[in-house]
Structures are given as structure tokens and as C-alpha cells.
């Protein structure tokens, strides 16, 4: 089955963790008294960039800004579908200045950027599936932002309620395995409300389900190109299930970023032109 999976070349936007640190607490993973090894974070991030490029993907970078330690989490900056950029409005005041720097990059690259009126944290909570947008809410992005996104993109938006504060963004509990054809996802059911679980079961009856241990290792904060899945090596059970479904796990350790509640996908914005 593995040979039938076809990778699709992606374009990613990232931000070097030059100023990364845990300087405040805005999710259960963050403890300002926990030291961060900035050199190790740099090494792990560079390993991710090398892995992307080794698998044929393009990588562009936004310059990091002093005083914005979470700017490394590029996924939260926007959602880009068919060259249309839906920007961000962060819930936490500490992160709100990030939006302007990413907007500047997008505009310099020739994109127009829509500024949401309601709290919306980019691909953290808005996940493009190829047919519609899966949209998380409960801790960060609001349902009003879901409606804004639907009006902006002209694609259906499916709202999903998150119920566990450890999985405060949709991209900590779910990722898209492939966004062509019927598509498929991997997710951790217990991160969602009962009604949202039923929705996911109906939309994706063949989804790859993760264990609690996989989810706590941020195994669902992964990036797939349709064949290769860049995944936390600690999510061993999930990697085995992906392999059994014909995907090729590519382990990349970003464990230093877990101290801020981040991982592979958090560090990766996909630009869909």
C-alpha cells in the first residue's frame, strides 16, 4: 500500500526560534520557571527544515522579532487557501504583535491579507482538508471567526468543539493525512465533544485514531505531504498505525518546543497558492 501513496510538493513558511523561550503561560504546557535550551531548540528546528527540504518541499522564512518568543509557531499566523490569506487575531495579548510581522511578509510576497474581526489563530484552529475547513473552537478561535472564514474562502466550515485544555488548538488533536480526493485525517477522539466526535466519525470513517499517549507526545501536531508524515518520534503507536495505512513516518524530534505547547505543525505554515 505504501507505494500507492503519492507525495505532493508543499511550500512552507517558518520562523527561526532565535528568541524562543517560555516567558509567560497561556496554555497548560507552559511554565515560565522551566528553562529552555535555546541551542537545542535551534538544532531541532534546523533538523525539521532539513527534513522538509530532503523530501522536496520548499521552505521560506519570516525574520524572528525580539520580544516575541512564540513567533516560531508560524502555523498560528494565518490560513492560506488558493493564494488567499486569512490572517490572525490572537487570543493572548502577548502574541497579538506577531500578526503584523507575518502580514508584512505576506504583503511583500505579493499577497493580500484579510484581518479577522474575531479571535482566530490561523492553522492552529483552521485546517484545510481540500474540500472544506475543519475549525476548532473552545479555547482560542471563536465560532464567529469560523463564520468569517467561510465568508472569506467560500468553502464550507465545519465547527468542532475542543474540550481538553491540553489540546487547546485543533492542530494538537487532528491533522490532515491527504487533501486530495476523499482525503483522510488522523485525530484523538477524546479531545473533542461527543457531538464533534460524531461529526468526525461520519466525515472520516477510515480515519487513523491516536492514543492518549500519542496525543500527549504531540503526535497529532504533524505534517503530511500525502505520503510522508513528519511526526514526533515519541508517538510510536501512531507512527505504527500510519505505517500500517501505507504512510511513511518521518520522525523529527521537536521536544524542546513542547515546553511551550508546540510541535512540528505549530512551527509550519503551509502556503497554498
- Cell numbers at 46, concatenated: 534546523
Half-sphere exposure of 22 (CA within 13 A, CB side): 21
- How far apart, in whole angstroms, are the C-alpha atoms of residue 235 and residue 179? 22
Q: Residue 57: which of 100, 20, 7, 99 has the closest Cα?
A: 7
User: Would you tell me how many other CB atoms lie within 10 Å of the CB of residue 168?
Assistant: 24
- How far apart, in whole angstroms, are the C-alpha atoms of residue 241 and residue 71? 32
- Cell numbers at 157, concatenated: 466550515
Residue numbers annotated as active site: 169, 266
**Secondary structure letter of residue 179 according to DSSP:** -
Amino acid at each position: 500500500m505504501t507505494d500507492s501513496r503519492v507525495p505532493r510538493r508543499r511550500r512552507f513558511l517558518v520562523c527561526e526560534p532565535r528568541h524562543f523561550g517560555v516567558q509567560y503561560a497561556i496554555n497548560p504546557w507552559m511554565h515560565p520557571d522551566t528553562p529552555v535550551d535555546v541551542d537545542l531548540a535551534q538544532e531541532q528546528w534546523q533538523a525539521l527544515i532539513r527534513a522538509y527540504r530532503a523530501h522536496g518541499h520548499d521552505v521560506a522564512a519570516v525574520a524572528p522579532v525580539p520580544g516575541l518568543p512564540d513567533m516560531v509557531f508560524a502555523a498560528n499566523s494565518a490560513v492560506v487557501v488558493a493564494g488567499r490569506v486569512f490572517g490572525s487575531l490572537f487570543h493572548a495579548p502577548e502574541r497579538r504583535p506577531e500578526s503584523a510581522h507575518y502580514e508584512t511578509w505576506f504583503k511583500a510576497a505579493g499577497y493580500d491579507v484579510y484581518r479577522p474581526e474575531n479571535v482566530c489563530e490561523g492553522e492552529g484552529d483552521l485546517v484545510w482538508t481540500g474540500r472544506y475547513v475543519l475549525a476548532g473552537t473552545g479555547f482560542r478561535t471563536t465560532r464567529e471567526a469560523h463564520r468569517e472564514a467561510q465568508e472569506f474562502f467560500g468553502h464550507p466550515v465545519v465547527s468542532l468543539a475542543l474540550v481538553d485544555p491540553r489540546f487547546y488548538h485543533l492542530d494538537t488533536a487532528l491533522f490532515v493525512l491527504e487533501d486530495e480526493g476523499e482525503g483522510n485525517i488522523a485525530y484523538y477522539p477524546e479531545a473533542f465533544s461527543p457531538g464533534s466526535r460524531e461529526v468526525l466519525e461520519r466525515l472520516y470513517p477510515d480515519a487513523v485514531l491516536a492514543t492518549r499517549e500519542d496525543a500527549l507526545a504531540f503526535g497529532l501536531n504533524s505534517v503530511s505531504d500525502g505520503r510522508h508524515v513528519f511526526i514526533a518520534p515519541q508517538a510510536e503507536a501512531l507512527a505504527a498505525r500510519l505505517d500500517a495505512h501505507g504512510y511513511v513516518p518521518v520522525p523529527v524530534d521537536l521536544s524542546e518546543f513542547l515546553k511551550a505547547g508546540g510541535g512540528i505543525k505549530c512551527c509550519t505554515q503551509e502556503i497554498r497558492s
